[in-house]
């Protein structure tokens, strides 16, 4: 899947598909969903009938009227075509992704393990929830599931676009697997968690195709406004006809329809669906799947962001950063003992101790011999320590301060005077102290630290500039939580939090009228993800989290919520900017059409012809043509979106009024005048 920066804006294939789609959308059953453009289509059909049957409303209609009607009908046809084309282009940008995803949905065989230990081959579509399947190297995972046994690398490039395989194993954040991905090494036993047709891949295809895209609340509200304006202007034009007839002013029906089309907000009406579809598409380009347009739009209104600490703000595992010996012990002796205590420790913390010791030039010449001859002592909740017993009787341990202290005292050893101070120094900055002991003699302290992800502080500064409050939730004690909060730059934190605490803080923020977003990846995050207005789950997380959320990040990068929020705000800005442009645009078109309609009967109206248009006919046709061609000119803005810059609502309003409001007034004056200069000679040649 391509990223936003790599994907080209338009390809010849997209254009061909969009043109075909634009013609298909002429179906009145489809057009009625867009009331503004539906009115334009009715106007087109009516003018087309007048072209074919010119005497339908006027027995004295001439050949010139038929030509004029034909020109108006053609321009109205082009207007509808351009509006349909805008929507088709927006839809077409997701079709390439759909085709890529559909290629992974080949008929896949699955080796199902039965309760009696036997195996049976089934097709993927025959699998049920709870089935246990064995997938070996080179085979495709048949459906979404959870790893219950084994460890293997899985190629998820068809889903995430990431070429490097991902290690999947039972338990933790990387137990969830997606149907359509491929095991590249070893084997996995997987418990199927979704039915055929309901997998994550199926949902992605459906969502990108837009088959279930529903209008968002803001879109519905704007659509209601546009319909209201359309009805008002329809009533104005309908009452204008008998009034002008009473005053003996003859205005062709085609001109009245042209006036209606130019008065109603056709520009934003033609682009509204494209803006919404493109918003979801832009999220998809960042490898985030939004379950609905409502979720994308809600991102634009986010006031509060709830972040889980582990795996989101920090890397998820505490890492050794320093060895501090007690008084009277050489640093090299402590480093050697710490290295020995972790030789058989496969935990991330143990591996980080080995890594740090190697950086500090510990002697590793006898590593193989020690591994083979020593007895590994694993960490347990009861002992709260781990290490190894060497062949020569030496016992090396590392563990919690309280436990090691008690063991040493029980063995008759004196506790170093500075040990408590060293432990307190580590704890006071939010670290975890591990005390290292050799044959019950305390050597020093290992400083384990939660490592904050690089660049996160700057990203939280961006959120603050957007007016978004950040809250970190962690199960750590208040001291550790405060240290991580200060280092990462979040606005506030909740220490020793449980799943219900996350839900409570979300509900409290929502009670204050705030829109809340949250990122998470674990099953314990699922209730909070469901409660939040925007729930962004990690693709590497559990199925429960992905089901509860309304967005899934395929790259499993929790900080990507910042980009998603920016896209949501960009969607709202784009809609607001183009609405401002459209309404301002209509104001300018009045100065072209209304004087042109009436100045033949009321010569004084010619003073309002500020554009100095050549004739009433050229003025009306020029305004109508401009009304049509402005839509394709705005398609790139509708699809790419207005560039987002963090600013206050008042500054944003002023910017929109200045750039798009003023631009919407100026553009028609220039555009209509240029079109008038081009069409006037042609109209004179055909006698109009």
Tell me the H-state helices in 455-525. 456-465, 478-488, 499-511
Cα torsion angle, 512, 514, 519, 524, sign:
positive
Q: Which residue is it, tokens 């939090």?
A: 497
Under DSSP, the state recorded for 310 is B
Q: Which of 65, 131, 281, 308 is catalytic?
A: 308
At residue 80's C-alpha, the angle toward residues 240 and 613, to 5°, is 55
Distances, alpha carbon 86 to alpha carbons 15, 81, 275, 278, 439, in Å: 10, 9, 9, 10, 76
Q: What are phi and psi of 148, to 5 degrees?
A: -110, -10
Helices (H) and strands (E) in the chain, counts: 25, 22
Alpha-helical regions (H) of 168-315: 200-209, 217-246, 253-263, 266-285, 293-299
Q: Which residues fall in the annotated binding site for Mg(2+)?
A: 521, 525
Cite the beta strand spans of 54-165 per DSSP E. Answer: 109-113, 119-123, 132-136, 145-149, 151-155
The closest alpha carbon to 382, from 403, 397, 398, 401, belongs to 403
CB of 586 closer than 8 Å to CB of 630: no
How far is residue 135's CA from residue 313's CA, in Å, rounded to a whole number?
A: 34
Among candidate residues 628, 686, 632, 643, the one with its CA nearest the CA of residue 76: 628
Q: Is 308 among the residues known to form the active site?
A: yes
| Distance separating alpha carbons of residues 543 and 532, to the nearest angstrom | 17
* Inter-residue contact 525 to 502 (CB < 8 Å): yes
Q: Are strands 469-473 and 441-452 parallel, antiparallel or unpaired?
A: unpaired
Are 105 and 201 spatial neighbours (Cβ–Cβ below 8 Å)? Answer: yes
Q: Closest Cα partner for 399 from 391, 407, 390, 410?
A: 407
The CA–CA distances, whole Å, from 425 to 318, 353, 414, 445, 493 equal 17, 19, 21, 10, 22
356: nearest Cα among 483, 487, 447, 480? 447
Sheet of strand 385-389: strand arrangement: 314-325, 441-452, 432-438, 395-399, 385-389, 375-377
Count of Cβ atoms closer than 10 Å to residue 49 Cβ: 14
Active site residues: 308
């Amino acid at each position: 899947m391509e990223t936003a920066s790599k994907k080209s804006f338009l390809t010849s294939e997209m254009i061909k598909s969009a043109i075909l789609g634009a013609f298909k959308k002429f179906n009145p059953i489809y057009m009625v969903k867009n009331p503004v453009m539906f009115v334009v289509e009715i106007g087109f059909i009516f003018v087309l009938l007048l072209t074919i049957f010119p005497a339908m409303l006027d027995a004295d209609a001439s050949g010139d009227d038929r030509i004029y009607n034909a020109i108006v009908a053609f321009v109205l046809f082009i207007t509808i075509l351009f509006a349909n084309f805008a929507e088709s282009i927006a839809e077409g940008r997701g079709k390439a992704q759909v085709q890529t995803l559909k290629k992974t949905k080949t008929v896949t065989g699955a080796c199902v393990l039965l309760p009696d230990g036997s195996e049976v081959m089934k097709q993927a579509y025959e699998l049920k929830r709870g089935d246990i399947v064995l997938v070996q190297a080179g085979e495709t995972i048949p459906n979404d599931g959870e790893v219950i046994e084994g460890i293997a690398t899985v190629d998820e490039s068809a889903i995430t676009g990431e070429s490097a395989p991902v290690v999947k194993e039972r338990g933790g954040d990387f137990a969830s697997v997606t149907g359509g991905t491929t095991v590249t090494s070893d084997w996995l036993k997987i418990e199927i968690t979704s039915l055929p047709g309901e997998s994550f891949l199926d949902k992605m295809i459906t969502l990108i195709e837009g088959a279930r895209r529903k209008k968002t609340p803001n879109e519905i509200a704007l659509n209601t406004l546009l319909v209201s304006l359309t009805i008002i202007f329809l009533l104005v034009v309908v009452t204008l006809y008998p009034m002008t007839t009473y005053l003996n002013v003859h205005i062709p029906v085609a001109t009245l329809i042209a006036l209606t089309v130019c008065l109603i907000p056709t520009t934003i009406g033609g682009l509204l669906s494209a803006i919404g579809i493109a918003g979801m598409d832009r999220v998809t380009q960042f490898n985030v799947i939004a379950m609905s347009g409502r979720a994308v739009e809600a991102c634009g209104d986010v006031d509060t962001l709830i972040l889980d600490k582990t795996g989101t703000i920090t890397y998820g595992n505490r890492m050794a950063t320093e060895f501090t010996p007690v008084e009277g012990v050489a640093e090299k002796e402590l480093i050697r003992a710490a290295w020995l205590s972790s030789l058989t420790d496969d935990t991330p913390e143990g591996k980080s101790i080995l890594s740090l010791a190697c950086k500090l030039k510990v002697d590793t010449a006898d590593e193989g011999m020690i591994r083979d001859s020593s007895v590994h002592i694993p960490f347990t909740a009861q002992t709260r320590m781990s290490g190894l017993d060497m062949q020569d009787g030496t016992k090396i341990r590392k563990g919690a301060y309280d436990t090691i202290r008690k063991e040493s005292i029980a063995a008759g050893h004196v506790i170093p005077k500075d040990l408590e101070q060293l432990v307190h120094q580590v704890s006071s900055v939010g670290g975890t102290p591990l005390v290292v002991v050799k044959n019950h003699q305390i050597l020093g302290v290992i400083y384990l630290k939660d490592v904050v992800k690089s660049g996160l502080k700057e990203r939280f500064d961006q959120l603050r500039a957007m007016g978004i409050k950040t809250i970190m939730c962690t199960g750590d004690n208040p001291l550790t939580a405060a240290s991580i909060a200060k280092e990462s730059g979040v606005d506030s934190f909740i220490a020793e939090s449980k799943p219900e605490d996350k839900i409570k803080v979300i509900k409290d923020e929502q009670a204050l009228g705030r829109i809340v977003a949250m990122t998470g990846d674990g099953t314990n995050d699922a209730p909070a993800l469901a409660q939040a207005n925007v729930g962004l789950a990690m693709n590497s997380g559990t199925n429960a989290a992905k089901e509860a959320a309304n967005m899934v990040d395929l790259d499993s990068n929790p900080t990507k919520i910042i980009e998603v929020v920016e896209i949501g705000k960009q969607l709202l800005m784009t809609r607001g900017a183009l609405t401002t442009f459209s309404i301002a645009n209509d104001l300018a078109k009045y100065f072209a059409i209304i004087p042109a309609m009436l100045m033949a009967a009321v010569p004084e109206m010619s003073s309002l012809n500020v554009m100095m248009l050549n004739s009433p006919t050229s003025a009306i046709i020029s305004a109508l043509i401009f009304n049509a061609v402005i839509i394709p000119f705005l398609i790139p803005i509708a699809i790419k979106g207005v560039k987002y810059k963090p600013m206050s609502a008042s500054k944003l309003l002023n910017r929109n009024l200045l750039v798009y409001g003023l631009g919407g007034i100026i553009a028609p004056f220039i555009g209509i005048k240029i079109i008038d200069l081009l069409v006037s000679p042609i109209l004179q040649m055909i006698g109009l």
